[in-house]
Amino acid sequence: MEAAAGQRRGTGVSAVLADLQLPAAGASLPARAEEWLGHFIEAPAAALVVGEVAVLLAGVIARFAFNSPIPWADELASILFLWLACLGAAVALRRGTHMRTTALVSRFSPRVQAWAEVLAIALPCLWLVLLIVPMADYARDEWVVQTPALNWPNTVRAAAVPVGSALMAAIALLRLARRSIADVAGVALAIAAMAGVMYVGSDWLQSIGNWNLFIFFALLLGVSVLAGVPIAFCFGMATVAFLLTTTSTPLSVVSGRIDEGMSSLILLAVPLFILLGHLVEMTGMAKAMVDFLASLLGHVRGGLNFVLLGAMLLVSGISGAKTADMAAVAPVLLPEMKKRGNHEGELISLLAASGAMAETIPPSLVLITIGSVAGLSISALFTGGILPGVVLAVLLAVLARFRSAEVVQGLKRAPMSVVARTFLVAFPALLLPVVIRSAVVEGVATATEVSTIGIAYAVLAGLFVYRRFDWRRVYPMLVDTAALSGAILFIIGTATGMSWALTQSGFSHSLAQLMTSVPGGKYGFLMISIAAFVVLGSVLEGIPAMVLFAPLLFPVARAVGVHEVHYAMVVILAMGIGLFAPPFGLGYYAACTIGRVHPDQAMRRIWPYLGALLAGLLIVAFVPWFSTGLLAR
């Protein structure tokens, strides 16, 4: 789930450190410096997105069309990708797309909220300052390692981590300079006091063994998340505090784990599918699909509810990002649904539920992420994710039919000529998910590369079929892609470091022993996993939760006899329910923001939809065929 920039305060989701407004004339020196620095970072980040697409697409064309693979394509793509991730994380810090939750903080007084905002700047700044030198040392040590194809020193790639971190530290310091001196001093004293307590109590923390994990990775992490600190930095700070207080491990190890977490070739698909989602919306492909579905079903009671669910299934299979899905579908459908008498809270409830429903529809970014961290086949996950999404869609459709308040008197079935016309218009858009899946199945491209084929297809369709391609939006789209990608990948990097620390402590072994001893065998294990990931999805969001716990829990799933693809579907759907469940689920507030409806309007109406999702999840959990039945085909 992605935290959208510009979301209004008080909704439970907030931008990281500020909104997207540029400083007005006469702004302070720190504000002007931050604006200049932002432009300095955004241009190369946008260029890296273009370079990534070009390199991967060239590799696909050379291999498939000319049977002459480019030996250095993947290597160059990997180098560009790490730079894109690190510069994108810096852009995200400035633009407000790092994931955080303010559901609790927003309930307090403005004074407490002001302190929380300073803490959300100061804690990341402290973490970055602590790691700048170790990160630079790590990058320098990589000089002796040569890349296999290009024969470049690996420092060329590894330097992205300290450079990106230095830029983020500069942005955070400029933000602090714009805050009240009293607030900054108060937060600094509080952080110093906490650090002092940990330093004085380090001997005791070491003496209690793995119980200290609760203090760092439950108490400290939980408090910082609920205080509104960006989740990626919460992971990083908890890890650094644990290592400094209870071990002698050098912090350069953290830099190595961040590099490792952000460098997986599978994750190359993340920015490319995000860009594809932007293109699908800009070129009118999403609207064409919605118009076709509306011509088929718009005349029946609850018909537009069915259209919404069908559109989310189709668009999810293209963009791979839930916020992009909802933003593409909601503006087209919600106004007409309101005109037909539906309560706006009911519409937002259905929109949020459909976002959770589509979490497993390929090419979901969560599928790609879980495949990367758990070592699973992306193709198998893409295949296994289809039927679970359909199961949930059917249950939601039945519920939406009975809860619909649409007034359809006077509405006539669209003539077949209209249906045929809208189908012809939508056909190129409807073909895109087929092209993406076929390219992977037929071996034209890998799951990582296939997004470039989708991007090329969307560009051509926008230019020559739909004749909608706004060149003025291209640069902002590229910057948005870099920012959102950086936010996602930086979380994966810091969560990888945290997962490594937990593994080194022996926690993973203890967790495996505990989970395998649960009564009920594999189904008892699945029920506990469902409960855990509903909570984790609500508090940590999907991708961080997956990165942190997938490496720990998938070996346990194998040990108790649960198929890996089946387990992936269960935990992804459980996480999706938590992600879209109030009062903490960020996806719920994102749906409210996109639909421009106050969260209170939907708070009481969403529970039946969440109940339908839970029923569907239990069906998927207890009938593994829905997840694995298509794998052998």
How is 337-391 classified by DSSP, letter by letter?
HHHTT--HHHHHHHHHHHHHHGGGSSS-HHHHHHHHHHT--HHHHHHHTHHHHHH
Cross-strand bridge partners of residue 153: 146
Question: Which neighbouring-strand residues pair with 146?
Answer: 153
The verdict on 216 and 283 lying in the same domain is no
- Examine the pLDDT at 436 and tell me if it is beyond 60: yes
Report pLDDT for 6: 35
Whether 469 is covered by a domain: the verdict is: yes
Query: Same domain for 223 and 315?
Result: no
> Which of 28, 32, 83, 19 has the alpha carbon at shortest distance from 55?
83
The token duo for 566 is 């089946």
Asked if the model's pLDDT at residue 184 lies above 70, the reply is: yes
- Quick check: 163 pLDDT over 90? yes
User: 525, 513 in Cβ contact below 8 A?
Assistant: no
Is the bond leading into 583 cis (omega within 30 degrees of zero)?
A: yes
Backbone angles phi, psi at 108, to 5 degrees: -95, 180
DSSP state of 473: G
CB atoms within 10 A of CB 550: 24
Q: Contact, 452 vs 53, CB < 8 A?
A: yes
Q: What is the pLDDT of residue 511?
A: 65
Residues 6+ apart with CB under 8 A from 24: none
Phi and psi at 377, nearest 5°, equal: -70, 125
Answer with the residue of higher pLDDT: 333 or 531. Answer: 531
Same domain, 68 and 125: yes
DSSP states of 437-462: HHHHHTTSS-TTTHHHHHHHHHHHII
Where is the domain boundary, 208, 240, 263?
263
Question: Residue 342: CB partners within 8 Å, gap ≥ 6?
Answer: 304, 404, 405, 406
Nearest to 389 by CA among 468, 315, 489: 315
Lowest mean pLDDT among 174-183, 350-359, 560-569: 350-359
- Please indicate, yes or no, if residue 122 is contained in any of the structural domains: yes
CA distances from 284 to 53, 303, 469 (A): 21, 22, 9
Q: In this predicted model, what pLDDT tens digit does every residue of 589-624 receive, in sequence order?
A: 767 767 777 776 777 788 899 999 999 999 999 999
Query: Count of domains in the chain?
Result: 2
The DSSP 8-state label assigned to residue 153 in this structure reads: B
Task: Examine the fold and report which residue of 460, 479, 498 is the final residue of a domain before the chain moves on.
Answer: 479
Nearest to 367 by CA among 437, 304, 297: 437
Are residues 336 and 223 both part of a single domain? Answer: no
Residue 215 lies in a domain: yes
52 and 95 in a single domain? The answer is yes
The segment with the largest mean pLDDT, out of 163-167, 577-581, 625-629, is: 163-167
Please identify which residue in the block is written with the tokens 């050379």: 62
Structure tokens at 492: 């994966």
Binned at pLDDT 50, 70 and 90, residue 2 comes out as very low
The answer to whether residues 294 and 193 belong to one domain is no
Are 168 and 214 found together in one domain?
yes
Cβ neighbours for 195, distance < 8 A, ≥ 6 positions apart: none
Give per-residue pLDDT as tens, 294-304. 787 766 666 77
Q: Containing domain of residue 65, as a range? A: 29-263
- What value does the mean pLDDT of the chain take? 81
**Which pLDDT does position 413 carry in this prediction?**
73
Regarding whether 273 and 137 lie in a shared domain, the answer is no
Q: How far apart are CA 426 and CA 419, in angstroms?
A: 10
Determine, yes or no, domain membership for 323.
Answer: yes
Angstrom CA distances, 308 to 327, 388, 430, 458, 592, stand at: 12, 18, 15, 22, 15
Question: Which amino acid, one-letter code, is at 291?
Answer: D
The tokens for 382 are 């893409």
Is the pTM higher than 0.85? The answer reads no
| DSSP of 4-65 | -TTPPTTSS---SSS-SPPPPTT--HHHHHHHHHHHHHHHHHHHHHHHHHHHHHHHHHHHHT
Within 8 A by CB and 6+ apart from 208, the residues are none
- Render pLDDT for 553-594 as a digit per residue (tens, 0 to 9): 888 888 888 899 999 999 989 988 888 887 667 677 767 767
One domain, residues 356 and 392? yes
How many residues would you count in the chain?
633
The CA distances from residue 91 to 46, 121, 290, 604, in Å, are: 10, 15, 33, 37
Indicate the residue among 263, 290, 319 that finishes a domain: 263
Asked if the structure places residue 75 within a domain, the reply is: yes
Q: Is 151 exposed, middle or buried (0-12, 13-18, 19+ CB in 10 A)?
A: exposed
448 and 372 Cβ atoms separated by less than 8 Å: no
Residue 18: predicted pLDDT:
34
Neighbour-count burial of 502, counting CB atoms closer than 10 A to its CB (0-12 exposed, 13-18 middle, 19+ buried): buried
Confidence (pLDDT) at 284: 85
What is the crossing angle of helices 450-460 and 29-64, to 10°? Answer: 100
Tokens describing residue 85 = 């991730």
In terms of pLDDT, which residue wins out, 231 or 50?
Answer: 50
Tokens matching residue 352 = 């949020």
Q: What span, in angstroms and rounded, lies between the C-alpha atoms of 410 and 607?
A: 32
Identify whether 45 is part of a domain: yes
Q: 210 and 286 in one domain?
A: no
> Which DSSP helix (H) or strand (E) runs through 433?
helix 416-441
- Across 591-607, b (16+ Cβ under 10 Å) vs e yields bbbbbebebebbbebbe
Which pLDDT does position 441 carry in this prediction?
Answer: 66
* Residue 536 counted as domain residue: no
Q: Which residues are CB-neighbours of 467 under 8 A, at least 6 positions away? A: none
Least confident of 124-133, 192-201, 286-295: 286-295
Place of tokens 């359909």: 390
Q: Write out the two tokens for 410.
A: 């006077």
Q: What is each CA distance from 37 to 49, 88, 136, 584, in whole angstroms?
A: 19, 13, 21, 33
Residue 560: phi and psi, rounded to 5, are -95, 5
Residues 134 and 203 reside in one and the same domain: yes
Nearest CA to 549 out of 559, 537, 561 is that of 537
| Burial of 471: CB neighbours in 10 Å, binned 0-12, 13-18, 19+ | exposed
Write down the pLDDT at residue 303.
Answer: 73
The tokens for 540 are 């940590």
The model's pLDDT over 13-29, given as tens digits with 9 standing for 90+, comes to: 333 333 333 444 446 78
Tell me, yes or no, whether 206 and 293 share the same domain. Answer: no
Secondary structure string (H, E, C) spanning 87-125: HHHHHHHHHCCCCCCCCCHHHCCHHHHHHHHHHHHHHHH
Q: What is the pLDDT of residue 231?
A: 82
pLDDT tens per residue across span 99-122 = 777 767 878 888 888 898 899 999
Could you tell me if residue 67 is inside a domain?
yes
User: Hey, is 288 helix, strand or coil?
Assistant: helix
The answer to whether 217 and 502 have CB atoms below 8 angstroms apart is yes
pLDDT tens digit sequence for 447-470: 677 788 888 989 999 999 888 888
**302 Cβ neighbours under 8 A, 6+ residues apart:** 400, 401, 402, 404, 406
Amino acid at 511: L
Predicted local confidence at residue 19, as pLDDT = 34
